[in-house]
Structures are given as structure tokens and as C-alpha cells.
Amino acid sequence: MKSALLHVLVPFCVCVVLANTGLFNSVLVDMSYDHYAEKTVDYLPCYLAMPFNSLVNLGYIFMGIYWLLQRMNGNRDTRADYVKDMFALMAIAYAPVQWVRLATLLRAPAVLDQWFTLPIFAWVLVWCDFIEHGWRTRYALTVELCSILSYGLSLVHDQGFEVALGCHVAFAVIKGVGVNRNHGDCHSRRYLGLAVLSCSGFVLLKLLDHTLARYQPFQHLTGHFWSKVCDVLQFHYSFCFLTHFTSIAPKRTE
């Protein structure tokens, strides 16, 4: 786990430093509570001013720790735990970034909230490739570097991030479908379906945040809150899908 922690922290810190320069001053990000349908609570501290949208970030941490503690005992490749731990640590690191964004409404955490989403989706491609071909360092580095650099699209167009994210989601789904088609069973198909469904809920509920707030059930636990719940579930079912294949990989190759 030590190597995975180092390999998450180094790019994390580099991105944090870059986000706090003037490099991304032209990027279109939301820095107002008006962007969210949940009402702020004035008597709470800033880190809980929007309590439900803030506390839901604990879900990423709990889910990440759960999967971090799971061991890939069925796989003889020592890289199996490394690949899983990287994904789990990404989930854990993502939570405080979103929380700080809500607490401060500053540009840097808003940029990081967008930016870190991309390599997280890209790691699905790396893990799928590991399942089919074993660990390939050059492939992993290339995919993650291209993913991080793709945030540069946000500098050339207001919707550049959305384009980059859409491509990442599409590539992750296509890669997952390919792995399932080649090696899948009823369990993997269920996990894949639930992961895609959760991803769809994440996108749609976030987009409909203010629209849904017109209705009583969504005025406290808003669309944005439920989109984050879907995002945590998306992580979880992606773990279920990918660890399922990783654990049976030796049986396919014997």
C-alpha cells in the first residue's frame, strides 16, 4: 500500500500546487452556493454550512477504507493489491477536495474537484488492461498522464471539462463492456449494470438539482446530494466488477 499511497500523493500535490497558481483563472467553475439547491444553514460552521452535501463526502472515505482493507488473496500477481489500493486511495483523496470546495467556495478546490475526476475514471482503463494483459507500467503511465493533461481542454473552451469527462466516462464503459464480453458471467454483468446505472444517476441528478428542488422530497436531501450517493455507489460497484475479474484471472490463465 505504501507505493500506491506515494503514487497518489505525488500527482495530487502537483495538481494542488498548479491549481493554486493563476494557470486556471480562466476556467469556468461555480463558486457560489446559488449553484446548489440545498439551503445553507447560517448558524453552522463553514465546513457544514451546506450540511447534507458536505457530510455525504464521508461516504467516499468509508467506502474507500472498506476496499483498501480488502485483500486480493485469489490472485498471485502482487500488483493486484496495488491496482485496487490506488483506486481506493483516489476515492479517499477525492472526498476532502469536494468538502473544501463547499466550505471555502474558492477557485482552487473547485478546479481540483473537476480535475481529479478525470484520472479516477482513467484508472478503470488501467485496471481493465491489468485484468486482460497483466501490469504494464508504460500503459498505466500513458493513460494517467493523458487523463491529467486532458483537463487542459477547460482552458480552451468553457465546456472543455464536460467534453473531457464525457470521453472518460465513455472509454471506461466501453472498456468495461469489452472485459465483460470476453470474460464475464452473471455476477459481472450485474455489477457492470449497477455501476453504469449509478453513473447515470450521478450525472442526471446533479443536472436536475434545482429542478428537483421544486418538489418536497428533494428540498433537504437534494438532487446534488443523491448524485453524490450515486457516485459512491458507482465507485463501489466498479470495485465489485473489477475485483471480481481480478480474483478469477489466475483461473482463466492456468
Mean pLDDT of 42-60: 93
Q: What is the pLDDT of residue 129?
A: 94
Domain spans in the chain, listed from the N-terminal domain onward? 2-12+46-253
- What is each CA distance from 7 to 68, 85, 178, 181, 192, in whole angstroms? 15, 10, 27, 31, 27
Average pLDDT, the chain: 92
| Backbone CA torsion sign across 19, 25, 27, 32 | positive
CA distance 85 to 130: 14
pLDDT band at 3 (very low <50, low <70, confident <90, very high): confident
pLDDT band at 183 (very low <50, low <70, confident <90, very high): confident
Best CA proximity match to 123, nearest among 83, 93, 163, 157: 83
220-243 pLDDT tens trace: 899 999 999 999 999 999 999 999
Mean pLDDT of 180-204: 94
Supply the CATH classification number for the domain 2-12+46-253.
1.20.1070
Mean pLDDT of 27-49: 91
pLDDT band at 10 (very low <50, low <70, confident <90, very high): very high
| Pairwise pLDDT comparison (250 vs 58), residue with the higher score | 58
Mean pLDDT of 62-69: 95
pLDDT band at 252 (very low <50, low <70, confident <90, very high): very low
Q: What is the pLDDT of residue 245?
A: 87
Q: What is the pLDDT of residue 1?
A: 72
Best CA proximity match to 18, nearest among 152, 207, 176, 215: 152
- What is each CA distance from 240 to 63, 76, 234, in whole angstroms? 12, 19, 10
CA distance 38 to 49: 10
> Please, what is the Cα angle at 119 between 96 and 115, to 5 degrees?
55
